[in-house]
Structure 1
């Protein structure tokens, strides 16, 4: 039986055999570690991505808009058009779908995105709403940033902090319990981390700077994101866990529930592959824009994927499932 969350990479590889007819205008199709598809429109490229929100209830519309916008932005494209499908549980009243769409509308206006279609239905068997989004964007052809563009020796730059989305979701879903343990001010700070979830600003900065690849880690957090990025480029990596930024709120919540912050759903952070000799300059540019950033490792030609701990290398495994599911399984 498959675990909750993304299907294992080995199964995903099998699914890539079923891609319909060949089309020469497809510049980038499905693959491991690839967040978007790209279609040739001459001087410009249409970029498309789709993602569901299944683990959150509160602010689900907010998450749906930004998660999908992030997947388009990592291509260097500006997100422009959004389609949304609402699947609602059987006990839904009129207020829920309107609240979800109002949230999507508000966030779309902030990023300059038009909502152009979708579908809404009450779906038997659901115990919570599911929102599935499809985002479209466009970019000049020569400025497209491919997800498989990382090169051996590239530095890995990470923006913001690990586990931002997961921290915010847990704080909202377990507010009463966490308030008793840590206090209401702490929970308010943890819940407010949702405000950092968009990577569109830093992706546009990185694209203008000139980088080799970008990836926004979602399910499985920073750990899975590193593996997905290496999968796409067919590389290994070396990471320095002590250099991975983690906020105090995330660290405390993860210690309380026994979670690994590196494997906690990580939307809001961006992983960037950039030439080693330009990495410090990129970090400085991001910091000058008010975006936290750090160099956390490098990509390797050899296929090993390791962490440096106490001066030695040890395996850095791919998470089998996101740490957030442990909260919901309880």
Structure 2
């Protein structure tokens, strides 16, 4: 039986990646492990396309749908421009549910300068809560295209903002009652507000202007899974340092309360960057100049068998999460 969340990599290879239809002559980057978008040659520019469902949250689902998909497009160096969305509603859904989702989609897309250009809406038998599936399209000049599989040995691993932002916000929203009793209303409201930092569009476009080899938006499985995805896609390994990974106090407390690993908690809002070692300082300074927290947490290494984290001076393997920690509590 498959676990909740993303399909394991070995099953993707076995069941998915050998059934991809016709070979597209203009496809520069197609479906593969650790690849969050496709890149298609349109001559003077590259069309970047990504699709993602929102299944782990009901509150703010339209907000998440726009930003999660925009993030994937931005990691290729492209500016998100057009959005298609399929909205699947549970039986007996009230019109107000659809109206609320559309208002969230409209506001979020408008903020990013994105046009909603199509989609599908239906009431779907068997659903317990709504599911929104988005497809974002963006555009980038050929010379500025970045991929998530471009990390090179010796590259610095840079992360922006803090680990587990999305997961912290979702848990604070879904389990607000017991968290308020444990930590107080002000704490919970602050944790819930982390959703406002979920976009990495500015992070990615800023880093790309300086010059990077790869970028990735760690979603399910958090920082830990994101590191594995970047390394697998590029055929390299990594060594990161636990004390360098920025994590908000609210995330640590919530994870401690539910016995969760913050490094395996869904982390939209964080951007992972592979930058040439000599460029790392400039990338971090450019990000901080835009008010975006950023830190170098380690490096990519040549040996793909080395996927380790250093904690309290001791090195240990950083295992790929079987599923996201979020599923334990929502």
Corresponding residue number in structure 2 for 1:317: 319
Corresponding residue number in structure 2 for 1:48: 49
CA distance in 2, matches of 1:317, 1:91: 42
Superposition deviation, residue 178 in structure 1: 0.6
In the alignment, does 2:242 pair up with 1:241?
A: yes
Corresponding residue number in structure 1 for 2:145: 144
Equivalent residues of 2:81, 2:114 under 8 A apart: yes
In the alignment of these two chains, the number of paired residues is: 328
Superposition deviation, residue 309 in structure 1: 1.9
Corresponding residue number in structure 1 for 2:97: 96
Tell me the alpha carbon deviations over residues 237-272 of structure 1, each in whole angstroms, 9 at most, x when there is no partner. 001011100001100000000000000000000000
Corresponding residue number in structure 1 for 2:328: 326
CA RMSD, Structure 1 to Structure 2 (Å): 0.7
- TM-score between both structures, scaled by the size of structure 1: 0.98
Equivalent residues of 2:89, 2:124 under 8 A apart: yes
Corresponding residue number in structure 2 for 1:160: 161
- TM-score between both structures, scaled by the size of structure 2: 0.98
Alignment of 1:54-203 (within 5 A): 54-203=55-204
Tell me the alpha carbon deviations over residues 65-124 of structure 1, each in whole angstroms, 9 at most, x when there is no partner. 000000000000000000000011112011101110110100111100000000011111
Query: What is the SS of the residue equivalent to 2:81?
Result: strand
Superposition deviation, residue 288 in structure 1: 1.2
CA distance in 2, matches of 1:82, 1:310: 45
Query: What is the SS of the residue equivalent to 1:226?
Result: helix
Corresponding residue number in structure 2 for 1:12: 12
Structure 2 stretches lacking a partner, 5+ long: none
CA distance in 2, matches of 1:224, 1:98: 35
Tell me the alpha carbon deviations over residues 26-52 of structure 1, each in whole angstroms, 9 at most, x when there is no partner. 000001000000100001000000000
CA distance in 2, matches of 1:79, 1:6: 24
CA distance in 1, matches of 2:28, 2:270: 26
Superposition deviation, residue 279 in structure 1: 0.6
Superposition deviation, residue 311 in structure 1: 2.1
